[in-house]
Amino acid sequence: MTQVSMTVNGKSVSGDVEGRTLLSSFLRENLSLTGTHVGCDTAQCGACVVHVNGEAVKSCNMLALEADGAEVGTIEGQANADGSLNVIQQAFQDHHGLQCGFCTPGMVMSAAALLKDNPRPTEAEIRKYLEGNLCRCTGYHNIVKAIMAASGQNVGSIAAE
Amino acid sequence: MYNFEFEKPSTIADAVAALGAEDAQALGGGQTLIPTLKQRLAAPSKLVSVSGIAEMKGVCVEDDGSVAVGGATTHATVASEAAGNYPALAALAGQIGDPAVRNRGTIGGSIANNDPAACYPAAVLGSGATVVTNARQIAADDFFEGMFSTALDEGEIVTSVRFPVPQAASYQKFLQPASRFALVGVYVARFADGVRVAVTGASEDGVFRWSEAEEALNKEFRADALMDLRINPANMIADLHGSKEYRAHLVGVMTKRAVEACM
């Protein structure tokens, strides 16, 4: 076992891990941050997306030891300081951007990474950015709407209901 | 996955030393290697991460105008940092996988793995790039030796790749939307001294140069110059996504698109 230390949602954490321990396992099993979901475990579905040093990564496809010293952000760190939903989360609720909710943590983390680099994405840019996040319930339209709304844009123009 | 030791050196020399251990393997971004380990298709004793080696990261322009990409540079970094100096390469990097994969996956990892459907081998071979390792320089024409096989020796690390910049170039990828690899991808690069056409995704032998298309385009650089050319489907990949004949047809279509995009 090797000790790994990182900052998760602004808090310093550390733990003992094996070489093979995935970042997703460390977050879920060592830190009990089970909001990061493991769906496919093959880096296809994006349910496990977290931020590492500000960039979206699939935490099931990164070793915990690779994140040693990094700033990690998970869905648990997304809400506002008073516990209320942040703008993206609220928009997902308002626009029904989820049904079963399994993919939602990854969707929200990907959306946050997108809006950091591109604060007013077009519908096409949102759909392109979400290529690595699979949702089997919504058909994506309401997720796209939510992200448009979270970026302060009119959602009336989004095609196909 | 089986357990392994993990080491993350900060210099190339330390990485080479660490890779001297029996059954040690280099780890780039892990976007292919980690899924491979999960399936127990590989069982290294030790993984040596190159992600902490600063001298292997980033994109820069050399004195002769070529674009050098550090072996541990992520696809996302190439997509943004090469956009000014080698736009076709940046565009290719921006089409690999998805955004989260591009934030981890590296050029060195991609070409060392030499997946027959990966995008980067097409750019490296199509540009006539030079693969620089800790030990030597390898011309792209000598680097790729067939599906999942390269000229790299045991423990040898791709430290950078130097791309001569063509007058015009384009990568046209026919996406396999589930894997996000290329069903067929064609890289066309037009240099003052000739045209290079590299094809990925199609052949059982991995990335290859389509020499008949190069000859035709050297005579006349127009999509119509390829009109009568057919590539032999015998050696093409056949799987549930496409037959040999389908892939052979796509090679022609994507080459023409790439030539048109160079205009």
pLDDT tens for residues B41-100? 999 999 999 999 999 999 999 999 999 999 999 999 999 999 999 999 999 999 999 999
Parallel, antiparallel or unpaired: strands B67-70 and B137-139: unpaired
Burial (CB count within 10 angstroms: exposed 0-12, middle 13-18, buried 19+), residue A24: buried
- Asked which of A76, A98, A124 is the last residue of a domain, the reply is A76
Flag whether pLDDT at A74 surpasses 60.
yes
- Residue A156 banded pLDDT, cuts 50, 70, 90: confident
**B100 closest CB neighbour out of A22, A56, A66:** A56
Contact criterion met (CB < 8 Å) for B37 and A20: yes
* Position A161 in a domain: no
Q: Check whether A157 has a pLDDT greater than 80.
A: no
Contacts of A19 in chain B (CB under 8 A): 3-6, 46-47
Q: Which of A16, A48, A76 is the last residue of a domain?
A: A76
Q: What domains does chain B contain, in order, with CATH numbers?
A: 5-163 (3.30.465.10), 168-262 (3.30.390.50)
Domain boundary among A76, A105, A138: A76
| Distance in angstroms (rounded) separating the CA atoms of residues A47 and A109 | 9
Mutate which: B103, B173, B176, B180, vs A, most A CBs within 10 A: B103
Domain count, chain A: 2
pLDDT tops 60 at residue A160: no
Measured in degrees and rounded to the nearest 5, phi and psi for residue B156 equal: -85, 140
Which residues of chain B carry a pLDDT beneath 70?
A: none
Asked if the structure places residue A109 within a domain, the reply is yes
User: Does residue A115 share a domain with residue A71?
Assistant: no
> A27 and A38 in contact (C-beta within 8 Å)?
no
Distance between CA B217 and CA B195 in Å, rounded? 7
A67 and A113 share a domain? no
Of B117, B100, B118, which is closest to residue B109 (Cα–Cα)?
A: B118
A54 with A117, same domain: the answer is no
Residue A52 has pLDDT above 60, yes or no: yes
Q: Domain containing A144 — which CATH number?
A: 1.10.150.120
Per-residue pLDDT, averaged over A48-75, amounts to: 98
Would residue A93 count as lying in a domain?
yes
Same structural domain for residues A31 and A92?
no
Contact A132 B104 (CB under 8 A): no
Alpha carbon of residue A148 to chain centroid = 17
Shortest CB distance from A43 goes to which of B99, B101, B178?
Answer: B101
Greater confidence, A155 or B25?
B25
Residue range(s) defining the domain that contains residue A141: 87-150
Residue A62 and residue A42 share a domain = yes
pLDDT at A130 over 80: yes
Q: What are phi and psi of B199, to 5 degrees?
A: -120, 130
Same domain (yes/no): A19, A45: yes
Q: Which residue in chain A has the smallest CA separation from B39? A: A42
Query: Which band of pLDDT confidence, cut at 50, 70 and 90, is reported for residue A159?
Result: low
Interface check B10 vs A, CB under 8 A: no
pTM of the predicted model over 0.90? yes
Q: Is the pLDDT of residue A100 over 80?
A: yes
Extract long-range pairs of A67-73: CB within 8 Å, 24+ residues apart. A67/A4, A67/A6, A67/A23, A67/A26, A68/A4, A68/A5, A68/A6, A68/B8, A69/A5, A69/A6, A70/A6, A70/A7, A71/A6, A71/A7, A72/A6, A72/A7, A72/A8, A72/A9, A72/A23, A72/A27, A73/A8, A73/A9, A73/A109
Query: How does DSSP classify residue A14?
Result: E
